[in-house]
Amino acid sequence: MATISPHLNMSGENSGSTSQRRQVPKLNQRILSSLSKRSVAAHPWHDLEIGPGAPLVFNVVVEITKGSKVKYELDKKTGLIKVDRVLYSSVVYPHNYGFIPRTLCEDGDPMDVLVLMQEPVVPGCFLRARAIGLMPMIDQGEKDDKIIAVCADDPEYHHFNDLSELSPHRLAEIRRFFEDYKKNENKEVAVNEFLPAISAQEAIQRSMDLYAEYILHNLRL
């Protein structure tokens, strides 16, 4: 069997001189550790900190872009953002939508957040947000509340502190989206009266406490 000379490149040309020899790029430590399975990629739900200002100001991982008809969501096993479905109704998400890391709700998911800001942002990124209200919601008979927040680093929105500062029309748009977005799937969603910022902060704190209890329980196993 013929052997390949160490001084030949894949095209068969002689590359014996130092100046002509192709340099093989070095793999960084993260790639090497991934190849050797000695480490696991960071998981946005568990590895990203919620932030020192929580439950007032906190990190949000964006799953769905403002204006999108695609329902992206976190794949809990891999930590990647996957396409769950394209919405069946002719509606788009009115604002960027995601979850708060290191929180847990009764449905087994992290706390959902709708973030008001000027621009759409890409799925998978994270940003700082401030809770300004809570939208109590029942999705197919199960509690599925949403935090209404503003981007803490958007100069047009960062001064908002409560839902009462938003226009009634803005709140009506948000309510109508969630009431309608599953209608063509024959799934019932009920949106109750919006609650103030303090209710949102209390809900976030409860979800932080529930997550901590879950982690401690699993550490004991």
pLDDT tens-digit readout, 192-201: 999 999 999 9
What are 93-126's pLDDT values in tens digits? 999 999 999 999 998 999 999 999 999 999 999 9
Quote the tokens at residue 151: 């981007």
The half-sphere exposure of 199 on its side-chain side, counting CA atoms within 13 A, is 14
Length of the chain: 221
Maximum average pLDDT range among 28-32, 127-131, 136-140: 127-131
Question: Of all residues in the chain, what percent are helix, strand and coil, respectively (each to 5)?
Answer: 25, 25, 50
The pLDDT value recorded for residue 210 is 96
Do the beta carbons of residue 132 and residue 201 sit within 8 Å? no
Q: Is 141 left (phi over 0), alpha (psi -120 to 50) or beta?
A: left
The pLDDT value recorded for residue 218 is 80
Q: What's the whole-model pTM score?
A: 0.81
Quote the tokens at residue 18: 């130092």
Quote the tokens at residue 139: 């999705």
The half-sphere exposure of 218 on its side-chain side, counting CA atoms within 13 A, is 5
The pLDDT value recorded for residue 217 is 83
- Comparing 171 with 6, which gets the higher pLDDT? 171
Check whether 5 has a pLDDT greater than 50: no
3-state secondary structure of 214: helix
Mean of the per-residue pLDDT values for the chain? Answer: 87
From 52, 100, 45, select the one nearest 78 (Cα to Cα).
45
The pLDDT value recorded for residue 172 is 96
Confidence of residue 164 (pLDDT cuts 50, 70, 90): very high
Q: Which residues pair with 127 in a beta bridge?
A: 60
- How far apart are the C-alpha atoms of 46 and 52, rounded to whole Å? 15
What are 6-54's pLDDT values in tens digits? 443 444 444 444 445 556 555 455 445 445 555 557 899 999 999 999 9
Quote the tokens at residue 114: 């709708």
The pLDDT value recorded for residue 120 is 97
Across the chain, where does the E strand assignment appear?
57-64, 70-74, 81-86, 96-99, 112-116, 126-135, 137-139, 142-143, 146-151, 189-191
Check whether 205 has a pLDDT greater than 50: yes
Check whether 77 has a pLDDT greater than 70: yes
From 72, 88, 93, 181, active-site residue: 93
Q: Provide the percentage of residues in the chain whose pLDDT is more than 90.
A: 75
Cα 74 off chain centre by:
7
- How far apart are the C-alpha atoms of 170 and 176, rounded to whole Å? 10
214 is a catalytic site residue: no
The pLDDT value recorded for residue 29 is 53
Quote the tokens at residue 32: 């090497």
The pLDDT value recorded for residue 22 is 57
Do the beta carbons of residue 74 and residue 110 sit within 8 Å? yes
- Helical spans, DSSP H, in 58-196: 168-180
The pLDDT value recorded for residue 11 is 42
Check whether 219 has a pLDDT greater than 80: no
